[in-house]
Structure 1
């Protein structure tokens, strides 16, 4: 008996020792879970009629997570009824605080709001529709969104259907039905009640279902959709990213030594008209939202002035104000002058050059440019086609200069000052030697000093930049043979998203002097035949004029001549 007792004790101690040595861990390895949860049952079931309960119950085939349900669940038609969610292992309960509207079809689109608890795989295409009445609304629309200018697909665009009215304002009214576009740009809204609707798509950055015209890209249809017994598909919504807010005047008052007129958004054009035709030097400053008027001796007291401002959507507003300057210790802004193109750019003989000033300026001398070879020698090239812009902040011109002409001018100088002349002094010999060694493939363009004066009496300093003579063999030609169905249009050659050159209403469109690279062709339709392309205006319910983007990429190499054929 005693031996049996000790044997039993030994067995127990051995068992405890073995268990204490064990270190249980979670098994590892195996394939990653990529299978999303599957809906097994729901109350109500999809397409149910006469549903009157305040809660919706759903059960899946695995444990689920619904932490992001409220950010993803879309209920249409839109409702302000609040709800709470309760998750228990494989099931979720959505409990509403108020009953649904009678005789209405509701659609719940869960998007990525319900996932499994391990790999966060979202339930795919989970949509639940039910009616509180005797039938399910079966109308639907399908379509896609894309960027108007590039064809690129924007992400997470809200597409809404609105009940039309004389006071419809997308900024303050939420859509009755709405959805979010997929990563491929497609969208669908189903179970719509037969009614007329307005359609709009917008970015909805702040997720409040209200369009912010100042910061969100958008698209809209000007015509009302009359949904009756048909399903609309292939709707194309071209998105634009233009500040569509109303142009408003914020203030018009002295600011330091200046008088500044501020608007709520950038302006593209403006004009000033005074009661006695007094000239007021002015320019746009800051983020292009402010017109600055500079002090002038001709304005001793307040001067009645009418300002007309136009924004990027061609919205225009006129305001009458009184310009008055006050004493100020504020120093005048530094005078800045810039020249384009940028230094080391390859230029052709038809190149236009632009001198830009940060203040309205005047030309003091017609001989404002030079082609310097040395500190004491300039070649004689005169500017042609000199033109100031409307407020005298930009001056453009061209030069009749070619590589051959430039070399001839240098050779002419050398022939008149031969290097081997015994009478030549050392300075002249040094200059001739420099000209002989000078690169004939580039030149320096200088803006001569004190040739411009600003409205605040600043005078310009020397500004020099070097340019290369473009060699035709380093560039290429793209010919676009166009079969057009519109009488007025623009054919653009673009590099990525930037227009390189544009030709109007051509059938054989020849783009010359094109640097090597990848290019695409884009057509801007001038549908109203007014000579320019219009971005439309949502405030006047005017859609943008059409843009056709050909997705075929063309690679151009040096000295190539490529021919393309397109039709629209």
Structure 2
């Protein structure tokens, strides 16, 4: 039982419906109020070694003026440590470019997918009028992050009625995690389907009804394959194949819906179609952090790659390679994921020293317009934002593009 004492008479008649307990407590409780005291009893034990928050919100008010209690938040631990990490960010409607008020933001176990439809969050908070949220007293670890409009207040999303969104990959909560952006959409959770296998001469396009996150193809070794669009898996022949081939496909969409299917394909080698190489590079930050995560994608199957010529640049300034290390792996035939380990202090110092040296040299060329222009360019440099460059010759695709 928990006992609270206030310095004036209080009304707690609405506390049972207003009390918010984080992490989520699945049992029931009873509230009793008398004069300036409140007692709360629970029918089941709290989890061991866990930090809990009681938020009264406006469930406790003074009797005289009905003002909410100044002390409306209480933190305690069932172990020896009170967790102090937090997660913060913003929830928006990207179509309207507007913040979303009163969205529920939850942290879920990294081991489970789409928990927001089946389970209640471990930690949670709601957004304010500006769409901002902050989840306090979080235990360090890895979590999935989801947000949704919890219109029926049951702490579970209903995709047919409520908008929801999520962070693409699990997050690691250390001391704190800030600036998380979560867009909310009316998402398509219909079953994943294979619509058709379309022969395009020297290759075959397999079209799905929605975007594909992961895929695996079991087929003849003379076939290479990869995503040429988010919902199109393309099969190529390494050498001309005249017979029909059995193809077995396993695909998974963004919401972990799986599909198993098989079919026969044939190629028309008299008709030639070619895809031009397209690439994309996404960074988790534009700042020089100690660790920068990147995802590199192509629309044509990658046979191999070599990132020994990877480079960090600030506009036209090349950063010495001694300040940067990296590791990466090919996660499928279209995608490479990796991490850059940047000696950020040395990089910032290198740019600063370069700027100071050029500016100092400019004193000898005060009347030279070209030198003045170069000096002004370096004066304006921001030493925190940089670009990642993957140079020509780093990729080897099915079409021998590089």
Alignment TM-score, normalising by the size of structure 1: 0.33
Work out which of the two has the higher radius of gyration on C-alpha atoms and give 1 or 2. 1
Bigger relative CO (Cα 8 Å, ≥ 6 apart): 2
Alignment TM-score, normalising by the size of structure 2: 0.46
